[in-house]
Structures are given as C-alpha cells and as structure tokens.
Amino acid sequence: MDGDVEILKEPSVEGGRTVFIPPGKNYKVLQAGRLMVVKGKDLGKELEISKERVTIGRSRACDLVLSDPTVSHLHAEVVTLEYGRLVRDLGSRNGIWFAGHRVGELHLQPGSRFQVGAETLRFDPLRREHRLPFSARDRFGAALGRSISMREVFLTLEKAARSDAPVLLVGDSGTGKELLASALHNYSLRAKRPFLVFDCAAVVPQLMEANLFGYEKGSFTGALESRPGLFEQASGGSLVLDEIAELGLELQPKLLRVIEQKTLRRLGGRKEIEVDVRLIATTKSELGRLVDEGRFREDLYFRLNVIEVRIPPLKDRREDIIPLAEHFLQNYNEVRKRLGLPPVVFSPRALEQLKRHDWPGNVRELRNRIERAAALVQGDVIDMDDLFGGDMKEDQLLESERILPYKQAKQKVLEKFEKKYLTRLLQACGGNLSRASERAGLVRHHLRQLCRKYGILPSEVAGKGRE
C-alpha cells in the first residue's frame, strides 16, 4: 500500500486487459494507473491515469505538467493499449531515457522508471477503474464512424456543442476536420448564424491580417473602401481557422487579444469593434512541438486547446472503411440514377483490397478513389484494378517478395520508399535542400548523401514537380 492507494503488481481488469468494452455497453472500462515523479525538480508530483492518452510536458495544456527546463512543452504521451501501456516520445529535445538508453517508446511494467528530461517518473497500475463513455450514435452531422474511436470523438463534440469554448481539432490531412467543425456548428446554439472557414495555409502572410481583422479605407495601397474581416462577418456564429499552425508569429498576439477581449481593431483603424465568435481551430501538426521550436506562442496554444479532439487516421479504424466506401458509392449511384444509368457495386476483391490499403490520404483519398472508379468503370462492377490501378504493384510488393531472405526483401522495400519519399519531399520544397532537410528532420549533409545514392538531382525534381 502507498498511502490510501493500492498499487498492483499486475493488471486487474477482466482477463488481464487494461481497457475493454463490456457487452452491450456504451463505455469502456479502463484500469487506472499512476505516474509519479520520484526524482527531479517536481519530486512527489503525480497524475492518475484516467483516460487512454495522457500527455507529459511543460505546457499547461499537458495532463502532467513538469517545471524542469529540460522537459519540452509537449514531451511525451502515455497511451493505454488493450494489454498494457506505453510511453512515447513526441519529438522532444531531450527524449525519454530508460536504463541508460534513449528510447522512442517504452512498454511500461508495474514499477517501471523512465526519465523525461532530468525528471525520473515511475509508473504503477492502481486497483481502480474508470468508465470512458462513447456516443451511442455512429454519425455526427455528415461525419460517419462506427468505430469506438470515432464514437468517442462524436461524444466529445456532442458535449462541446453545448458550450462556446474554443475547440482544437487535431488530425492528419483528409480525416474530416472541416466536416466535423461544420457539424459542431450545426449542433450548437449558433447553428442559424454564420459559419466561415479561413485556410491559414492558403493565404500569403501579408494578406492574413486584412482577411481576418478587416481594414479601413486608405490603410494600404489598394484599400479603396473599408471592409470587415472574417471575425466581424462571423460574429454571432463560428469561425474555423484551418491549419492554425501556418498562422505567422506576428499575427498570433492579435488573435490572442481577440480571443481574450472579444474586441478587435481593423487594419488602419482606431475603433474597438466587439465580436462574438466561437473559434474552432484545426491542425495536422503538434502545436506543443511548435511551441518548443519557437514557432507558436504557448499562451495562444493554451487558449485554443480548451477542448482538444484528436481524429484518428483511417488506417487505425479499419472497421469504418467499408461503411464509408458503401456510403460514398451510394451517393454516386444516386447521381447515376438521375442520369438513367444502372447502379455500380464493389466486387469481393475490391472490398478486400479496400480493407487492406493503408489510406495515407485518409477519408479524402477513399472518397476520391471511389468517385473516380465509379465514373470510369466499364460495366456495373468496380473491381480492384478500377480502384487502385498501377498502385497495386506497390501494395502487393511484400506479397511478391516473401520468398526473398528477410534482410534482402526489407532493403528493397526501404530503397523504394526512400527514393519515392525524397522525390516528393524535394518537389514540395521546390528543390531547396535546406527547407527539405528541416521539413524531413534530417541533417542537410545526410539528405544530400541520400540524393546522391539514388541519383536524384534536386533542381531536376523541382522542375518536374512544376510541370
């Protein structure tokens, strides 16, 4: 016993599992755990693990907030799996250390000790359970999801719709962040008021301030009349700041001021204008990491991260793939019906490959492939080749190379990946090695060596990307 908390030497939840769903229930049962600082500046500080993901770092937005300067703002996460837990580094400066070695992730055992910066933490399972509810519905607005992970997202958004608190939607490209933001607005008390979206990645920095906050006549060359910005236009409703990580540092203090004071001053103006906006931000980046890098203000991150919702990638919720595919195909069949064409269906082989594909483009890629296949199919059955075409050779690479020795097969796959990755990276960065090395997290010299290895000339690759 440790005080009034009973520490276990092994998991107590049904069948040794740390989390499970009782039959017929709309909740998970999670075995509690505890993280305690046993050495370092925050000695004695502890956190009870009562949800499937908890974060560790210096940011006030983290679940376990540590004060030592060697700890990054968003340093690590502890994730609960069906059997056990693991701690995972989130791109921190000083990493996670275990038994004298730096590790990317570590499966935690009762009593495990690991270092986060200069602080040593101990993990212990507890004889206590928590219920984690999820939505009874498999949709939220136009967003569909039968998987438990998506129904957890839906429940959080259902609750968030009843408040005006800022919401931060975190997820890879194509996971449906804007669709969920729209549904959140439609379920809120602001549903009949404006819903506007501003893509921070699509507007040059010089125009961002005028777009968001408006401007007065004569405030800059070409300002022939006064215009309200998106905050004024959305007043009473909701404003989505899509890809908020792309918002420049020079504008972040002004955005923070609008959030906190609910007033703004137009570009070139002196008058304070009141605005009433529900703010929804989306990002595919870890904002906590950008705070560490000096590219995002911590105070703004904290204000945006009041309700954080993480949207899982499609490959992590495979039970949603076929229902989504059938939904998209049904929508397209309605178009075919209006054109007097018969409906199309998936072949068994197509359905099997849909389930196996990794979907790097997530739901957006799934929808695009189905729409293209339905438009171009010969006949009324969509087969595997209609969906994936020449991509199948890559998808089936491991199938054809299973007869090779493991190291040889692995090397071939790695070489194909590296060449394709480098080509796309340099195209995205316009052939600029410095930008490419920063984006990839590689030393510039190492990136140049990889290019030489595969005979890739950055200038030529950049030229092809513009064709």
Same domain, 149 and 296: yes
Show which of 270, 290, 310 is a domain's final residue: 310
Residue 74 lies in a domain: yes
Residue 29 lies in a domain: yes
Same domain, 226 and 375: no
Beta strands 238-242 and 113-116 are unpaired
DSSP track, 100-153: TEEESEEEE-TT-EEEETTEEEEEEEEEEEEEEE--S-SEETTEE--SHHHHHH
Smallest Cα–Cα separation from 119: which of 46, 178, 38? 38
**Structural domain of 413:** 404-466
Beta strands 105-108 and 85-89 are antiparallel
Domain count, the chain: 4
Smallest Cα–Cα separation from 123: which of 85, 90, 94, 69? 85
CATH number at residue 363: 1.10.8.60
DSSP track, 444-461: HHHHHHHHHHTT--HHHH
C-alpha–C-alpha distance, residues 49 and 67, integer Å: 19
Residue 9 lies in a domain: no
Residue 7 lies in a domain: no
User: Which segments within 134-251 are labelled E, that is strand?
Assistant: 139-140, 143-144, 167-170, 195-199, 238-242
Pseudo-torsion of CA 238, 241, 242, 246, nearest 10°?
180
Same domain, 61 and 40: yes
| Amino acid symbol at 424 | R
CATH number at residue 301: 3.40.50.300
C-alpha–C-alpha distance, residues 404 and 462, integer Å: 35
* pLDDT for position 205: 81
* pLDDT for position 43: 98
C-alpha to C-alpha distances, 164 to 29, 152, 187, 199, 241, nearest whole angstrom: 30, 20, 12, 21, 15
Residue 3 lies in a domain: no
Residue 23, C-beta contacts closer than 8 angstroms, at least 6 positions apart:
none
Same domain, 262 and 358: no
Residue 223 lies in a domain: yes
Q: Give yes or no for a contact between 80 and 88, defined as CB atoms under 8 angstroms apart.
A: no
Same domain, 180 and 57: no
DSSP track, 338-371: HTTPPP-EE-HHHHHHHHH---TTHHHHHHHHHH
Same domain, 154 and 240: yes
Show which of 310, 333, 349 is a domain's final residue: 310
C-alpha–C-alpha distance, residues 330 and 174, integer Å: 20
Same domain, 172 and 302: yes
Q: Give yes or no for a contact between 387 and 354, defined as CB atoms under 8 angstroms apart.
A: yes
Show which of 276, 310, 344 is a domain's final residue: 310
Same domain, 67 and 167: no
Same domain, 247 and 359: no
* 3-class state of residue 85 by DSSP: strand
Residue 2 lies in a domain: no
Same domain, 424 and 290: no
* pLDDT for position 455: 75
Same domain, 304 and 383: no
- Kindly report the pTM of this predicted structure: 0.77
* pLDDT for position 400: 40
Task: Walk along the chain (467 residues) and give the pLDDT tens digit of each residue.
Answer: 344 444 444 444 555 789 999 999 999 999 999 999 999 999 999 999 999 999 999 998 899 999 999 999 999 999 999 999 999 999 899 999 999 999 999 999 999 999 999 999 999 999 999 999 999 999 999 999 999 999 999 999 999 999 999 999 999 999 999 999 999 999 999 999 999 999 998 888 888 999 999 988 888 878 889 899 999 999 999 999 999 999 999 999 999 999 999 999 998 888 999 999 999 999 999 998 899 889 999 999 999 999 999 999 999 999 999 999 999 999 999 988 888 889 999 999 999 999 999 999 999 999 999 999 998 888 899 999 999 875 654 444 444 444 556 666 667 677 777 888 888 888 888 888 888 888 887 777 778 878 877 778 776 766 555 44
Residue 372 lies in a domain: yes
Same domain, 167 and 290: yes
Smallest Cα–Cα separation from 376: which of 394, 393, 363, 388? 388
* pLDDT for position 357: 92
Which pair of tokens denotes residue 293?
């890098």
Provide the residue count of the chain.
467
* pLDDT for position 397: 44
Which pair of tokens denotes residue 4?
């009034």
Which pair of tokens denotes residue 274?
């009141």
